[in-house]
Amino acid sequence: MKTYEKIFCQLSETKGFVTGEELGSHCQLSRTAIWKAIQKLEQFDVKIQSQKKRGYRLLFGDLLIPEMIEKQTGVPVILNHNSLSTQLDAKIGIQEGQKAPRLYLASNQKEAKGRFGRSFHASSGGIYMSLHIQPHVATDKQPAYTMMIASAIVKAISRLTGIETQIKWVNDIYLGQKKIAGILTEAISSVETGMITDVIIGIGINFNIKEMPKELENKATSLFSEEPSITRNQLIVEILKLFLTTPETDLIKVYKDKSFILDKQITFLEDGKTYQGVAEDITDNGALIVQLDNGKTKTLLGGDISLSSWEMRS
């Protein structure tokens, strides 16, 4: 663990002040090293109060600590503070022969992309990560990874905070009527074998974003608007544990239970034509079954839908 990470852990475990002498003794560091670590932490929006004769106290802030996540999940973590995109980081890792599973993590992203290549806001205070796995399964046998990770996210949030979030088909997590998280799943297959060799599951969560761009204020929000009751590390660990250990059938059930579009009137665009109907069901592989207003049934494998009404499930 890096020096500044050790200092952060020590301060976060103490409610009051910790003297420089105590920090030095516990972390086996000189006062100069402690001072440099404090300066480093402030670069990550961690606010620490310094008071003569009393030492240091953590006021607010959160720090991503790869070693902590690795220890609790068994998944190796690569943290990139200058990431353009964790999806890109994962693809580079695959090219370099990095073994899976492996988590690529970033404190922010400069060129974050969602579905259909759309850019999205990714500032400090969020969780930006991509999980690389190697399933080696036939294309038609691929598990519903987007559904599974979405379920893991809502379950993790509920377990750790008591906050209930819901899922908008196919890959968005909502708190009330505003989006707090999105998922992008990409698969790499072998032409020779027809097998999916690698899957990258990208996740972006608005954990505690201080300021949302004006154009997103009515569409997006953060899990926490005040000081968080948990850390990003805790949420990441819980998401990974649930995703990696919960049976697929259980996660799919959660996805359907937490979907707020079922039995709702929706609108969608297909081949330049607008359709309306009621979202009747979600299949185990993630397809959306829609009963159209004209009585016909359509099966959507992807795309965007809009709700005619924002009345949420209880």
Question: 127 by DSSP, 3-state: which?
Answer: strand
Residue 249: CB atoms within 10 Å:
8
First vs last C-alpha separation in the chain: 44
Cα dihedral: 244, 247, 249, 250 (round 10): -90
Q: What letter would DSSP give residue 98?
A: -
CA dist 76 → 101, 209, 233 (Å):
7, 26, 14
Q: Which residue has the tokens 């020590």?
A: 10
CA dist 145 → 77, 103, 141, 222, 239 (Å):
20, 15, 11, 24, 13
The length of the chain in residues reads 314
What angle in degrees, to the nearest 10, is found between the helix axes of 3-12 and 31-42? 80
The C-alpha atoms of residue 117 and residue 282 are separated, in whole angstroms, by 25
| Residue 109 labeled ligand binder | yes
| Residue 179 labeled ligand binder | yes
Task: Catalogue the long-range contacts made by 70-76 (C-beta closer than 8 Å, 24 or more residues apart).
Answer: 72/237, 72/241, 73/103, 73/237, 73/240, 73/241, 73/244, 75/101, 75/102, 75/103, 75/131, 75/240, 75/244, 76/101, 76/102, 76/103
- Where is the binding site, in residues? 109, 179
- Where is the binding site for biotin, in residues? 109, 179
